[in-house]
Structure 1
Amino acid sequence: MSLGKLIGVSLGPGDADLITRRAWAQLQRSEALWTYPVRSLKTESYALAIAQRSGVAVPEDAQHLLFPMTHDVEKLSRAWLRAATQVLPVLQSGRDVLFLVEGDASTYATFGHLERTVRGLDAAVQVEIIPGITSFHASCARLQIPFSEQDDTVAIVPAAYGVEMVERMLDDFDTLVLMKVKPLIDELIDLLERRDLLDKSCFVEKAGAPEERVLRGPELLSLRGTKVNYLSLLLVKNDQRLRGERVKGCKKKVSP
């Protein structure tokens, strides 16, 4: 019997209309097993919520895979192994397994951990990754600003690298995307204010989702002392680095 295929189904950042035709076709397959990540047994899956907003019926046998929010390597390794051993028998029975992912499955996603662990257990398993729209590309479209132009330099980094690293990168890149800003939001706002870049910065939370939140420039000051969602980013357009015509970036207002 041939093995089933492990398929990373990218669903985009939150707007069900941004699901690609290829991903949508996978969601119509009744013979494949749906799996989706959860951070804990008490939380809902954001990826699954995107699929549900599309109107597709969730199969009764869909399974969650637990990927805890921790930096503990041992705990993470155990979670990856547990998830892999959960789906491997299904793959070995010849059935395809769909793993639903918000955003893009190859960009800061849990799918890579699952894929590597499954292949470590059975190297014969085939894998397919369906690309999707990232949160930072969707955010730029929402804000009506270019992600990059001509010879602009771009960096996409988790804010967890620290404020000192972020400050060094501000000197080297025209566009800086800071992912997962939740733990350092106050420090990052202080940095942007000190570097006179607050007017060139935007905050986007749950891009494209019904509960999307967008703040621009001085509006970011309202985030101090608050808790932001894990699915949040900061977009900084450093006009001190831009060449040629001045880009106004986040100063430009858009209609709701």
Structure 2
Amino acid sequence: MNATPPTPRFGRLIGVSLGPGDPELITRRGWAALQSGARWAYPVKKAAERSYALDIARRGGLDIPQDAVELVFPMTRDAEALARAWARAAAQTVQLLAEGRDLVFLVEGDASTYSTFRHLARAARELAAEIEVDTIAGVSSFAAAAALADVALAEEDETVAVIPAAYGTALIEHLLDEFDTLVLMKVKPLLDEVIEMLERRGLLATSCFIEKAGAPGERVVRDVASLRGETVNYLSLLLVSNPKRARGELRRGCRRRAEHAAARSIPPAHTMEAALANSVEGLAP
């Protein structure tokens, strides 16, 4: 009778968020994973090209393992080409994990925010459902950008929306009436159109452009109108605040119920005074 072959033990697939560019923003947990002896994988747009994520680790003084592996994710809208690339990357990932060794995937920014990691993890699990995935959170580009520009994304009860600018100015303009702050990601292709719309809405003075936050060559531009006609870096975004937005009344029901319950639990003042007097009398010799 033939013995059942053992089920292969897969290593963990670990998404390590590196932050948007400054290696000092790598979390302690992310740093530990990078130095854990796990194999590294990192994304590139085409074979043998420099990896932005790998550069963050390199600038942090980390030694790049000799057996680090690149995974190619081309920048294209061709659905068939993308499907082939994802299939190759997922198959390569599963093959590496089948060796039983953990694999850390280097992620610029945060692994749960506009990241290839979630797609890669999903595709790998479609090939091997038992693969364990561990996501290490990190600093998102817009959080780092707000800190760099010394502006708040939200205060008190304000609302925030984060969208790719590629959805167009019609949607952006609609959302300006629904949210106090808009984060417009990957603003490069529509920058002039967005500037024109912000000027018409009187919001240029409360907008800020941030490029390559945390990386060499970072810059903050508060005179957003001065960017008209300029070709900006792909890693750029706009923070737009709309202080004129009309807000509805907030429902405070939970807070009122809590205050009411607290009030009911506090006895009236005269009852408290009587109880205190009795306690004092009980302590008398």
Residue identity in the other structure for 2:16: V
- Residue identity over aligned pairs, in percent, reads 60
Equivalent of residue 45 in structure 1, options 27, 51, 59: 51
TM-score by length of 1: 0.90
Is the aligned partner of 1:223 residue 2:227? yes
Is the aligned partner of 1:233 residue 2:240? no
Match of 2:259 in 1: none
Match of 1:15 in 2: 22
Residue identity in the other structure for 1:65: L
Match of 2:143 in 1: 137
Does structure 2 conserve the Cα–Cα contact (< 8 Å) formed by 1:13 and 1:103?
yes
Match of 2:154 in 1: 148
Does structure 2 conserve the Cα–Cα contact (< 8 Å) formed by 1:12 and 1:103?
yes
**Aligned-pair Cα RMSD in Å:** 1.3
**Which residues of structure 1 form unaligned runs of 5+?**
244-256
Is the aligned partner of 1:180 residue 2:186? yes
Distance 1:234 1:242, change over 3 A: farther
Alignment of 1:63-212 (within 5 A): 63-212=69-218
Residue-by-residue CA offset, 1:140-183 (whole Å, 9 max, x unaligned): 11111111111111100011111111111111110100001111
C-alpha distance in structure 1 between counterparts of 2:172 and 2:67, whole Å: 44
How far residue 190 of structure 1 moved from its aligned partner, in angstroms, is 1.0
Equivalent of residue 220 in structure 2, options 214, 217, 241: 214
Residue identity in the other structure for 1:186: D
Residue identity in the other structure for 1:141: A
How far residue 241 of structure 1 moved from its aligned partner, in angstroms, is 1.8
C-alpha distance in structure 1 between counterparts of 2:125 and 2:233, whole Å: 32
Match of 2:35 in 1: 28
C-alpha distance in structure 1 between counterparts of 2:194 and 2:77, whole Å: 21
C-alpha distance in structure 1 between counterparts of 2:226 and 2:70, whole Å: 35
C-alpha distance in structure 1 between counterparts of 2:64 and 2:125, whole Å: 27
Residue identity in the other structure for 2:15: G
TM-score by length of 2: 0.81
**Helix, strand or coil at the partner of 1:177:** strand
Distance 1:4 1:42, change over 3 A: closer
Residue identity in the other structure for 2:53: A
C-alpha distance in structure 1 between counterparts of 2:77 and 2:165, whole Å: 14
Residue identity in the other structure for 1:98: V
How far residue 42 of structure 1 moved from its aligned partner, in angstroms, is 6.1
Residue identity in the other structure for 1:201: S
Aligned length: 240
Residue identity in the other structure for 1:214: V
**Helix, strand or coil at the partner of 1:149:** coil
C-alpha distance in structure 2 between counterparts of 1:69 and 1:230, whole Å: 12
How far residue 73 of structure 1 moved from its aligned partner, in angstroms, is 2.5
Does structure 2 conserve the Cα–Cα contact (< 8 Å) formed by 1:174 and 1:242?
no
Distance 1:156 1:114, change over 3 A: same
C-alpha distance in structure 2 between counterparts of 1:40 and 1:163, whole Å: 31
Higher helix share: 2
How far residue 225 of structure 1 moved from its aligned partner, in angstroms, is 1.8
1 or 2 for the larger relative contact order (CA 8 Å, sep ≥6)?
1
Match of 1:56 in 2: 62
Residue identity in the other structure for 1:147: L
Q: Larger Cα Rg: Structure 1 or Structure 2?
A: 2
